[in-house]
Chains A and B, each alone.
Chain A
Amino acid sequence: MLRTCLPGILLVATLAVVGAVEGNTPPADPLAAVIDTAISARLQDAGVQPAETLDDERFLRRLMLDLAGRVPTLAEREAFLGDASPDKRAAWVDRLLELPDFALHLRNELDLLLLARLTSDNEWREYLLEGTRANRGWDDLFREIMLPERLREGEKGPAAFLRERVRDLDDLTNDTAVLFFGVNIGCAKCHDHPLVPDWEQQHYYGMASFFQRTYRTKKGLLAERFDGRLKFKTVVGDELEAEFMFLNGTAAYEPPVELSDERRKELDEQVRKAQREDDAEPPRPEFSPRAELVRMALDPSGPDYFSRNMVNRTWARLVGQGFVEPLDQMHSENPPSHPELLETLASDFASSGYDLKRLIRGIVLSETYARDSRLSGRREAPAADLFAVALPRPLTPRQLSASLQVATAMPERMQGLIAGEAWESERDSLENRADSFAKQIEIPGENFQVSVDEALLFTNSERVASDYLRDAGDRLVRHLKSLDGDETVATVAMQAVLSRTPTAEEQARISEYLATRSVRRLEAIQQIVWALIASPEFRFNH
């Protein structure tokens, strides 16, 4: 198959190119090299010159937001800028991948992907965190999320995905298809998809069949019934029985089970009990449709929706747009911008044991990832799917609130916490403190807009004033107040909040602001910090 031999070819070609250009320096990451070769090829075809590579301070901010879910501290910034080693970006990526922040942030991202705001479930979040901490394979997590009843006694965490949707078969069907396979088959519920020949009604009901027997037990676990087949009506009125059919059109075979009427009644009664009583054990059928779904989704011989979806979503998360866009429209009528690259990355992802860390490392070490978001002198932006210029990405609610806490904290104290033994639990509690603020912020999605509510919240809420701008020993404002010289205040404020050094113009403007308010310096400093945290440069990852 083409798909399986492709990586080798591309890799060899890339290694040769990189070696020739850079002398003897090996590429920072083989995946990164594959990415850059493929992206450059299309840029060349299109005759588009990509944006410059980001300078160190801007690169660090982007990298920290993506890997740690927060902006860098002043100390982290200084350490990075002061590091003179030639391969420091790769070294820092590796270091960041091992920080507690990485697992926490990846956990948040997976939580956002799979549960969004359906619920805030501590057991679920704890389950995901164990997974990201140990860098468990995405297939493992998928398997457990789909088959939570097979887990150890008392483990309810992974059940949350199904539990939150089990009341509605369409939700289970659609969300699973969209979130795990990048495919929206909702249109095919009532008729074969009018625009996409890939999706027929039988696919919709085929997917729904995998969940139709699922029910929630009184204990909040998930179990499956013994029988039952989904029927559906076609537009011409024929009634058909759905097969257990995966998206690629192959169906699972259900072995016939002979049950006496008595036995069947007995089992039905057990199911009813499990739905009603805390201590009733749900009976376990031989044939599990959901287990079939998992098996078929991970079957290496079929088109790999599972890997391509995660690669596409991870790429979109880190670069701002998917190879396939919208992310849930993976089908023949909507080809990827870089088909071979997507296949290569997906195939590498699968063969690496669905290693998210490896995938993320590859992406963030690419030249493509490190491009500037600013259009220098260009009047019109090149097509987004060329990835010639970085796309500004709104921070997620948790990225924003964690960054606010870090940026407006007393720098030394924050660094002490980060460097300390207990940082993981400190970071966790920082997240919890930030949680209710995060709930007031819009979750980024297609056509994202900053809400007026958010602007009003930042402008007039007591909470922003007291949490981020107060004059207290653990706050940035107190630190800035203690500094001598308006220029120093300007520099430290900008570096702490926006992670960069002010321009001369900004320096002058801040100095002037302070100078004309010398009788109320504290308020002036608070206003400067406010103006920075309410700026789009802080609000976006760029």
Chain B
Amino acid sequence: MKRKAWCGSAEHPVSRRGFLGAAAAGTAFAADMTVLDGLKQQALAAELKRQQKRVILLWLAGGASQLETWDPKPGAETGGPFRAIQTTVPGLEISELLPKQSQRMRQTAVIRSLNTKIADHGGGYRLMETGRLPEPGVAFPHLGAIIARELGRIDSHVPDHVSMYTSTEGRRKGTAGFLGARYNPMFLTENMMPENIRRLESISQVDHQDRAALRDFFAEKFSRSVDSAAVASHGSAYERVRGLMASDRLFDISEEPQAMREKYGPTQFGEQCLIARRLVEAGVPFVKVARAWWDSHGQNFETHRELCADLDHCMSALMDDLGDRGLLENTLVITLGEFGRTPRINGSLGRDHFASAWSCSLTGCGIKGGAVYGKTDEKGATVVDGEIGAADLFATIFTALGIDYEKEYMLGSRPIPISDFGSSPVEDVLA
């Protein structure tokens, strides 16, 4: 073991503090000098810790109503027919359409003060998926791609960005933009098994393997002879194939005990949430599960009665399951759509697009459970306290995951911070 750590380099004082801190905390490792090397690399240790963090985004496509979920206004003329119910967190009430969630709010923080201004599906989606307004000429990466880049591992044998969306409405994949195709999602659309992840029956396992070895033989000399990051990316894409193919079982929920499958239920959303859990458990940093279609311009209340039941059940099952497995402290569950819905109830008993005062929830990793942030007026028409925008939400998400929200990517000579300029995290919901 090298001991060159005590050489007086700039990291030295930091390392020493790290070591003393750990020793003072009563860790039993102090006697083992090999640990010193680990501890001196505080940055590395933080990095490793960060890399174990995961995100599941439950995407409420079409825009769920905040009034029928996280910010009920019973009794107000805009409130609709549903009651608010008390949760396990004193003083925190949510819609009666989420009874199971009401019993689990100790792990969840609610933000009720999003004012994101853009209330069309395309614009709202782009804003809430990238955390900033689009700029022509710049392909901003989506949240999943940033997380994949920040939390994924180069040599990972599992995908680092998975996006599930099996509905036909508003199908959105999510792209890596300027981060490059490496961080594009593995996208599940028609069915729940990713495309091309399984070996064709027409080729045997052995031939498949030998063929790959032959390919590597042709590739190797060529790749070595040229100096090109693009050529190198060809190699790393093919290197990942075998690991990814081995991860196909993660998508196969028939491997789960029947009792577990029943907990999530037989709905598509439920099964996808179960897949999401299998994926994060195996180390996939980002999974998006999109559920459509919340765009309730007519019959808002019937729509929400049905969709909220599904959301309530699946989200609760997911939280319980992650909690039971000890994954919740490393997994951040985000429940979000492109915007909320108008307090005003239209002539078709619907609510229209509304981005001025709406809600989302954050659960698990890095989040202060039971916290409520922000407030809307009594009709739910405006934010009266704690207004935040999409970029602040992104800063909050990054901070919860231990990622510096001011970190910058360089696009040519232009710095682009991962959450937009001027944003800051909502400290009140952070653990």
Contact code string B205-236 (vs A, CB < 8 Å = 1, else 0): 00100111011011100110111111101110
Q: In the assembled complex, how far is the CB of residue B255 from the closest CB belonging to chain A, in whole angstroms?
A: 20
Query: B177-185, B325-333, B347-355: which lies at the A interface?
Result: B177-185
B211 & A446 in contact (Cβ 8 Å cutoff): no
- Which residues in B have their C-beta under 8 angstroms from that of A374? 225-226
A174 & B136 in contact (Cβ 8 Å cutoff): yes
Chain A CB within 8 A of B253 CB: no
CB closest residue in chain A, given B201: A462
Contact code string B17-35 (vs A, CB < 8 Å = 1, else 0): 0000000000000000000
Q: In the assembled complex, how far is the CB of residue A165 from the closest CB belonging to chain B, in whole angstroms?
A: 9
From B180, B196, B218, name the one whose CB has the most chain A CB atoms within 10 angstroms: B218
Partner among A392, A461, A465 whose Cβ is within 8 Å of the Cβ of B231 = A392
A528 & B186 in contact (Cβ 8 Å cutoff): no
Contact code string B394-414 (vs A, CB < 8 Å = 1, else 0): 000000000000000000111
Chain A CB within 8 A of B344 CB: no
Chain A CB within 8 A of B46 CB: no
B228 & A456 in contact (Cβ 8 Å cutoff): no
Q: In the assembled complex, how far is the CB of residue A325 from the closest CB belonging to chain B, in whole angstroms?
A: 9
Partner among B135, B211, B414 whose Cβ is within 8 Å of the Cβ of A530 = B211
A527 & B237 in contact (Cβ 8 Å cutoff): no
Partner among B215, B233, B244, B245 whose Cβ is within 8 Å of the Cβ of A450 = B233
A509 to B215, CA, bound (A): 11
B184 & A513 in contact (Cβ 8 Å cutoff): no
A456 & B412 in contact (Cβ 8 Å cutoff): no
B231 & A540 in contact (Cβ 8 Å cutoff): yes
A527 to B230, CA, bound (A): 25
Contact code string B123-158 (vs A, CB < 8 Å = 1, else 0): 000000000000111100000000000000000000
- Which residues in A have their C-beta under 8 angstroms from that of B241? 452, 455-456, 459
A394 & B230 in contact (Cβ 8 Å cutoff): yes
Chain A CB within 8 A of B259 CB: no
Chain B CB within 8 A of A460 CB: yes
B196 & A540 in contact (Cβ 8 Å cutoff): no
- Which residues in A have their C-beta under 8 angstroms from that of B215? 530-531, 534-535
Chain A CB within 8 A of B171 CB: no
Known: A184-B137, A534-B215, A540-B231. A451 touches B200 (CB 8 A): no
Chain B CB within 8 A of A391 CB: yes
Chain A CB within 8 A of B258 CB: no
Known: A451-B237, A530-B211. A536 touches B222 (CB 8 A): yes
A542 to B225, CA, bound (A): 11
B413 & A195 in contact (Cβ 8 Å cutoff): yes
Chain A CB within 8 A of B254 CB: no
A449 & B180 in contact (Cβ 8 Å cutoff): yes
B228 & A392 in contact (Cβ 8 Å cutoff): yes
- Which residues in A have their C-beta under 8 angstroms from that of B229? 447, 449
- Which residues in A have their C-beta under 8 angstroms from that of B413? 195, 329, 334
CB closest residue in chain B, given A456: B196
A460 & B237 in contact (Cβ 8 Å cutoff): no
Q: Which B75-110 residues sit within 8 Å CB-CB of chain A?
A: none
Chain A CB within 8 A of B3 CB: no
A444 to B181, CA, bound (A): 10
- Which residues in B have their C-beta under 8 angstroms from that of A392? 226, 228, 230-231
A328 & B196 in contact (Cβ 8 Å cutoff): no
From A381, A444, A449, name the one whose CB has the most chain B CB atoms within 10 angstroms: A449
A506 to B219, CA, bound (A): 11
A444 to B223, CA, bound (A): 18
Partner among B196, B234, B235 whose Cβ is within 8 Å of the Cβ of A457 = B196
A173 to B137, CA, bound (A): 10
- Which residues in A have their C-beta under 8 angstroms from that of B180? 447-449
Q: In the assembled complex, how far is the CB of residue A501 from the closest CB belonging to chain B, in whole angstroms?
A: 14
A178 to B136, CA, bound (A): 10
Chain B CB within 8 A of A340 CB: no
B197 & A531 in contact (Cβ 8 Å cutoff): no
A175 to B184, CA, bound (A): 24
A449 & B233 in contact (Cβ 8 Å cutoff): yes
From A444, A450, A539, name the one whose CB has the most chain B CB atoms within 10 angstroms: A450
A461 & B230 in contact (Cβ 8 Å cutoff): no
Partner among B135, B202, B226 whose Cβ is within 8 Å of the Cβ of A542 = B226
Chain A CB within 8 A of B261 CB: no
- Which residues in A have their C-beta under 8 angstroms from that of B184? 451-453
Chain B CB within 8 A of A109 CB: no
A391 & B200 in contact (Cβ 8 Å cutoff): no
A531 & B182 in contact (Cβ 8 Å cutoff): no
A184 to B200, CA, bound (A): 46
Chain B CB within 8 A of A412 CB: no
Q: In the assembled complex, how far is the CB of residue B223 from the closest CB belonging to chain A, in whole angstroms?
A: 6
From B181, B199, B200, name the one whose CB has the most chain A CB atoms within 10 angstroms: B181
A375 to B245, CA, bound (A): 35
B214 & A178 in contact (Cβ 8 Å cutoff): no
Q: In the assembled complex, how far is the CB of residue B36 from the closest CB belonging to chain A, in whole angstroms?
A: 36
- Which residues in A have their C-beta under 8 angstroms from that of B198? 460
Known: A171-B136, A456-B195. A540 touches B218 (CB 8 A): no
A455 & B228 in contact (Cβ 8 Å cutoff): no
CB closest residue in chain B, given A459: B241
Chain B CB within 8 A of A121 CB: no
- Which residues in A have their C-beta under 8 angstroms from that of B6? none
- Which residues in B have their C-beta under 8 angstroms from that of A449? 180-182, 229-230, 233, 237
Q: Which A505-539 residues sit within 8 Å CB-CB of chain B?
A: 506, 509, 513, 523, 527-528, 530-532, 534-537, 539
CB closest residue in chain B, given A194: B414
- Which residues in B have their C-beta under 8 angstroms from that of A542? 222, 226
B412 & A186 in contact (Cβ 8 Å cutoff): no
Q: In the assembled complex, how far is the CB of residue B178 from the closest CB belonging to chain A, in whole angstroms?
A: 7
B234 & A536 in contact (Cβ 8 Å cutoff): yes
Chain B CB within 8 A of A170 CB: yes
Q: In the assembled complex, how far is the CB of residue B198 from the closest CB belonging to chain A, in whole angstroms?
A: 6
Chain A CB within 8 A of B16 CB: no
Q: Which A416-469 residues sit within 8 Å CB-CB of chain B?
A: 442, 444, 446-457, 459-462, 465
Known: A452-B181, A535-B222, A536-B231. 11 other contacts (CB 8 A): A174-B136, A375-B225, A392-B230, A394-B230, A447-B229, A449-B237, A509-B214, A509-B217, A531-B218, A536-B222, A536-B234
A selection of 26 A-B contacts at a CB cut-off of 8 Å is A186-B135, A374-B226, A375-B225, A448-B181, A449-B182, A449-B229, A449-B230, A452-B244, A455-B234, A455-B237, A456-B245, A459-B196, A459-B212, A459-B238, A460-B198, A460-B200, A465-B202, A523-B203, A527-B203, A531-B218, A534-B238, A536-B222, A536-B231, A537-B218, A539-B234, A542-B222
Chain A residues proximal to chain B, CB less than 8 Å: 168, 170-171, 173-175, 178, 184, 186-187, 195, 326, 328-329, 334, 373-375, 380-381, 389, 391-394, 442, 444, 446-457, 459-462, 465, 506, 509, 513, 523, 527-528, 530-532, 534-537, 539-540, 542
